[in-house]
Amino acid sequence: MTLAPERPRYDPAVDAEFPPPNLGRSVHVIGPVVNVHPDETPHPKVRRGEMGKVLFDYGRNTISPDPLARTNSTRCRDKGNVFTDVLRRAPAGRINPTKTEVPDPAAMSRHIKNVGRYLGADIVGIGRSHPALLYAGGTLRDTGFVVEGEAGPSESPAELCRKYPYVIVTPVAWDYELAQAHRHHIGDAAYDTTLMQTVLVLTALEFYIRELGYTALRGKVNPQAAALAGGVGELGRNGLIITEKFGARIHLSDAILTDLPLEPNQPIDLGVDDFCKVCRKCAETCPTNSISFDANKQVFNGVEKYKIKWETCYKLRPLVTEHWQICLTCSTVCPYTKPNVWWRTLAVETLRNTPHLLRPAVVKSLKWLDDRVWGKVANKRVRWLGYDSGVRPGVKACTVAGCTAQHDAGGHPVDVPMADIGYYAPLKENVNRFVKR
């Protein structure tokens, strides 16, 4: 990895002021961490054309043939129609000069959690900030493609952490049933909408913290690291934060860095670390082989975790953009991604209360159960809003029962096989014979 030499870095051996952060069992900071600049993250790289012309076109000037995808994502006809863009153009208020006194940070933490949930978040996580979790400088904006404002040398990550000791994340979970139609416009809609909702909640909370008289900074912290520190979940093999109630189907989008006095949560233990060591369901179903099969975690940039190959993951998008945008297979097949009901709570609680030594046995039986009941890949047919995940993409089909409208020739599904599976059965491309499983 080549990074610019002037990037700030966090070295646990040198920076005695900040001991290594506690991020739970799934991620450990074990060596020097070079802070990543937002410019080096996937979306800006694609936007600048560093990932090739195809991805450049995808990031810049693709218009989706599907109206719902045009509404929810940046592949729209007019960028002004994207809600995150509308929100970004809205004026931001100033910090209230009269500060609200906070004698009890625990009460304020409870309040912020109530506020976050009232505004629409499904989980509110509060963590302690740490230089290793921060970007090197600049601000990553909500659309994900824009990086603004190179912060001056005085605003190093360590400096920011001293001034703003807390991070807040407010993820929104996307719909379980709709996400069963991943690799389809239906799954895309569920995913894209939660992005807009999360950004709305984050912005409203940011404005509210300003109203309380404190600073709230956006686009400064890696949201996944903030979610780990804030006890939202654990990092899985698929590179996604796996939460207690929703599994991997949450949209983090961003985190708030603030000086509002709060009481941070502790990282949680859901047994994700033990499960991912055995399961590999996401790695087996990934259409691009971007997820590691290795039993052990990798050390990347001083952080021990499961590392996904985001380049190959991203390169799938322009190839399929006519039919769908976000693959989401790794999230959907994850055994933790299930409806939030009692048997799910029972399974997670069982795993959590098992001693670490006995966990592999429990994990194997839970994995077996998951394969038997839910199948190796999601194959549920979803009908929503006139879309039907059982209809092959590109096939023009009117799926409305009793439709009497006059369409062009081929309007109705005459020769579409209406078998009870979606078209997203395992892709041939995934059969990589050179990978030992």
Partner 1 sequence: MADRDPYWESFINRPPADPNNLITHALKQVRPGGVNPVRTEVHSPNVMSRHVKELAQFYGADQVGIVSLASGQFGVVCVLQADYDTRTATGIGGQTPAMKGLFAIYTLGSYIRELGYNAVHSETDRERLAAAAGLGSVDAAGRLVTRKFGARCHVADVLLTDLPLAADGRA
- Site residues (CB under 8 A) for partner 1? 67-68, 70-72, 76-83, 86-87, 89-94, 96-98, 100, 107-108, 110-111, 114-115, 118-120, 189, 193, 196-197, 200, 203-204, 207-208, 210-211, 384-386, 398, 400, 403-405, 407-408
For residue 426, report the phi and psi dihedrals to the nearest 5 degrees. Answer: -50, 135
Q: If you ran DSSP here, which 8-state letter would residue 192 be given?
A: H
Q: Is the dihedral of CA 64, 67, 68, 71 positive or negative?
A: positive
What is the Cα–Cα distance from 133 to 20, expressed in whole angstroms?
11
Which of residues 339 and 375 has its CB atom nearest to partner 1 in the complex? Answer: 339
For residue 167, report the phi and psi dihedrals to the nearest 5 degrees. Answer: -120, 145
Burial of 402 (0-12, 13-18, 19+ CB in 10 A): exposed
Which of residues 52 and 67 has its CB atom nearest to partner 1 in the complex? Answer: 67
Classify strands 233-235 and 241-243 as parallel, antiparallel or unpaired. antiparallel
Which of residues 319 and 385 has its CB atom nearest to partner 1 in the complex? Answer: 385
Question: Smallest gap, in angstroms, from Cβ of residue 403 to partner 1?
Answer: 7
Q: Name the residue with tokens 């190093």.
A: 156
Question: Smallest gap, in angstroms, from Cβ of residue 67 to partner 1?
Answer: 5
Which of residues 161 and 172 has its CB atom nearest to partner 1 in the complex? Answer: 172
The answer to whether the CB of 52 falls within 8 A of the CB of 319 is no
Q: Is the dihedral of CA 105, 121, 38, 306 positive or negative?
A: positive
What is the Cα–Cα distance from 210 to 126, expressed in whole angstroms?
17
Question: Smallest gap, in angstroms, from Cβ of residue 407 to partner 1?
Answer: 8
Which of residues 159 and 259 has its CB atom nearest to partner 1 in the complex? Answer: 259
Which of residues 204 and 362 has its CB atom nearest to partner 1 in the complex? Answer: 204
Which of residues 246 and 384 has its CB atom nearest to partner 1 in the complex? Answer: 384
Q: Residue 130: what residue type?
A: H
For 361, the enclosing helix (H) or strand (E) is: helix 359-374
Which of residues 19 and 67 has its CB atom nearest to partner 1 in the complex? Answer: 67
Question: Smallest gap, in angstroms, from Cβ of residue 93 to partner 1?
Answer: 3
The answer to whether the CB of 326 falls within 8 A of the CB of 75 is no
The answer to whether the CB of 279 falls within 8 A of the CB of 237 is yes
Question: Smallest gap, in angstroms, from Cβ of residue 264 to partner 1?
Answer: 18
* End-to-end Cα distance, the chain: 27
Question: Smallest gap, in angstroms, from Cβ of residue 54 to partner 1?
Answer: 23
Question: Smallest gap, in angstroms, from Cβ of residue 110 to partner 1?
Answer: 6
Question: Smallest gap, in angstroms, from Cβ of residue 257 to partner 1?
Answer: 18
Question: Smallest gap, in angstroms, from Cβ of residue 197 to partner 1?
Answer: 7
On the CB side of 184, CA atoms within 13 Å amount to 31
Q: Residue 131: what residue type?
A: P
Which of residues 112 and 313 has its CB atom nearest to partner 1 in the complex? Answer: 112
What is the Cα–Cα distance from 81 to 151, expressed in whole angstroms?
30
Which of residues 79 and 352 has its CB atom nearest to partner 1 in the complex? Answer: 79
Closest CA to 166 of 296, 88, 255, 241: 255
168: Cβ–Cβ under 8 A, 6 or more apart, which residues? 112, 116, 124, 125, 126, 127, 205, 226, 230, 255, 256, 258, 262
Question: Smallest gap, in angstroms, from Cβ of residue 421 to partner 1?
Answer: 24
Alpha carbon 264 to its chain centroid, in Å, reads 21
